[in-house]
Amino acid sequence: MLRSLSRIAVQKSGKSALSATWCRLSSSISQELLDKHRSAKLVKSPEEDVSAELPAEDHAQPIHPEDPKELRDVYPDFLPSPDWRIRDKLTEKLEREDMYRRRVNLDIPEFYVGSVMAVTVADQYAPGKKNRFLGICIHRGGYGLRSSFILRNVIDDEGIEVMYEMYNPLIQKIEVLKLEKRLDDELFYLRDAPKEHSFFPQNMDPVQLPKGRAVPVNTTKVPLNPRPWLERWERKELKGILPLDLPEIFFQKAEERKEPWEKYDLMKQYRARINDVEAADIMAEVQERQQSAPGSKKKPPQRHHKTTGITVPASLD
């Protein structure tokens, strides 16, 4: 007991001695030196303040895309997964390196859900050792090298869907025959719609898009076949379907299952997508790498495709 009390007394006396020493040191600093320190710029060393010696026009500006929000919609495959549990900066960087190399050999054009596309893949069992499928894009998802999209068409009165991995080495060519958007982010409800809304001829000619025109939005609303359906479409807030002819009890149950408070959940929105700052940095890297790719030349801000009539950013065409 006595030892512990003596130890506490020693500690207290040590602290008081240190505080007294610090007070003496602080009081010995002149007021002129303190004022000079307070008015000094927050620079670690004179060598680091290089920008102060250069004129304003010589400052190096970071390379950023003109419209990062537009680029992230055009090329969402370059954005990593927002799930922090599987994020790895090194893996994401290496994946983007592989994606750059793949895009040198494969032209991946701009497309959205609702665009009519044709994909040619290598197939050893098909005539000519290749197979071409044409359809409407009903889904686009995945991240990085695992990015994929689904095409749907009706062949021989039967709905056919094919999922393609965007960076699959078996893909030989990707064509966009009709560039457009739809009212919804996914078109899975076409599975329960009449077949004429999913039919496109395999020899369809490309639809020319005027140069400089924005990507059109197809506002067509499709009807759905009578129930049963593959999903409860009345419980989804869909804009591309006609009003459903269902008993009132179905809509009452749909209202009970709604969660309107989710649109105010900022953390859920933050975790569901990559933030704009990180996305802008990634898009700037993509622009820089595409411009410095082997065989690439300096191009104007936009280029017009002669075959499809599509105008895309020149840095990523």
> What is the secondary structure of 67-118 as a DSSP string?
-HHHHHHH-GGGSPPS-GGG--HHHHHHHHHHHHHHHHHS------TT-EEE
Written as one letter, the residue type at 79 is L
- Strand spans (E) along 201-289: 217-218
**Cα–Cα dist 147/152, whole Å:** 17
Residue with the bigger pLDDT between 172 and 23: it is 172
> CA neighbours within 13 Å on the CB side: how many for 164?
27
User: Residue 24: what pLDDT?
Assistant: 45
35 pLDDT band, cuts 50/70/90, is low
Q: Would you state the structure tokens that stand for residue 126, as one six-digit string?
A: 């098909």
User: Residue 207: what pLDDT?
Assistant: 92
Q: Where are the domains of the chain?
A: 68-316
Question: At CB < 8 A and 24+ separation, what contacts does 104-108 make?
Answer: 104/293, 104/294, 104/295, 106/171, 106/172, 106/173, 106/174, 107/173, 107/174, 108/166, 108/174
The string of pLDDT tens digits covering residues 151-186 is: 999 999 999 999 999 999 999 999 999 999 999 999
**Cα–Cα dist 241/218, whole Å:** 12
Cis bond leading into 228, ω under 30°? yes
DSSP secondary structure string for all residues of 62-77: P---S-HHHHHHH-GG
Is 68-316 assigned to CATH 2.60.40.420?
Answer: no
Nearest by Cα to 240 from 224, 225, 221: 221
Helix (H, G, I), strand (E, B) or coil at 235: helix
**Cα–Cα dist 307/291, whole Å:** 22
Strand partners for 161: 152
Which residues have C-beta within 8 Å of that of residue 177, sequence separation ≥ 6? Answer: 116, 117, 118, 134, 204, 205, 206, 207, 308
User: Is the pLDDT reported for residue 299 higher than 70?
Assistant: no
Nearest by Cα to 282 from 59, 141, 51, 82: 82
Length in residues, the chain:
317
Residue with the bigger pLDDT between 225 and 45: it is 225
36 pLDDT band, cuts 50/70/90, is low
The string of pLDDT tens digits covering residues 190-199 is: 999 999 999 9
Percentage, residues of the chain above pLDDT 70: 70
pTM of the model: 0.71
> In 10 A of CB 96, how many CB atoms?
19
Helix (H, G, I), strand (E, B) or coil at 149: strand
User: Residue 34: what pLDDT?
Assistant: 54
How would you classify the pairing of strands 311-313 and 116-122?
A: unpaired
The string of pLDDT tens digits covering residues 64-111 is: 345 656 788 888 999 999 998 999 999 999 999 999 999 999 999 999
Percentage, residues of the chain above pLDDT 90: 56
Q: Are 209 and 106 in contact (CB under 8 A)?
A: no
Q: How far is CA 305 from the centre of its chain?
A: 24
21 pLDDT band, cuts 50/70/90, is very low
DSSP secondary structure string for all residues of 204-215: PPPPP--TTPPP
User: Residue 53: what pLDDT?
Assistant: 43
Residue with the bigger pLDDT between 62 and 182: it is 182
Nearest by Cα to 272 from 69, 76, 74, 83: 83
In whole numbers, what is the pLDDT of the chain averaged over residues?
A: 79
Average pLDDT over residues 300-305: 46
